[in-house]
Amino acid sequence: MTTAVADRSKLATAIVVGSIGAALACQHVPITQITVFDQSWVAFAVLRGLRLFAEIPSASVSVGIALIISVGVLAIRRKSTQERIDRGGTGESREHASHIGTTEPFLQQFADDAAQIGGDL
């Protein structure tokens, strides 16, 4: 296998793994938390431009990055506050909070679907 083909294969694998990870995240975490961190690519693009091309970000870009970081911090703080509330709340809230960040419900549903498809053949 040539180097170019190997590099493309690695890139394709990374894209597939990233896509599956994003899909799992969307199923187990509120979308409002995901979208904040999805916008972090802006900050990384600016850092790459600064390092590779010595580009200095404009004031509007700096303000945008500051807003993205601020909303990310607020999302994390809100989640930790919500988890504290859920621990003292009803059993339903605690049950829901225990599934956030785990893949168990997804994997169980996948196994059930696979068994049903296998049984239908």
- Rounded CA-CA distance 10/4 in Å is 10
- Rounded CA-CA distance 14/1 in Å is 18
Angle at 94 between CA 18 and CA 27, to 5 degrees: 20
What's the pLDDT band for 3 if we cut at 50, 70, 90?
confident
**SS3 assignment, position 48:** helix
What's the pLDDT band for 59 if we cut at 50, 70, 90?
very high
The full set of domain ranges for the chain reads: 3-120
Mean pLDDT of 56-84: 81
Helix 104-120 vs helix 3-28: crossing angle, to nearest 10: 100
Q: Which residue has the higher pLDDT, 102 or 34?
A: 34
Amino acid at 76: I
**Longest CA span, the chain:** 61
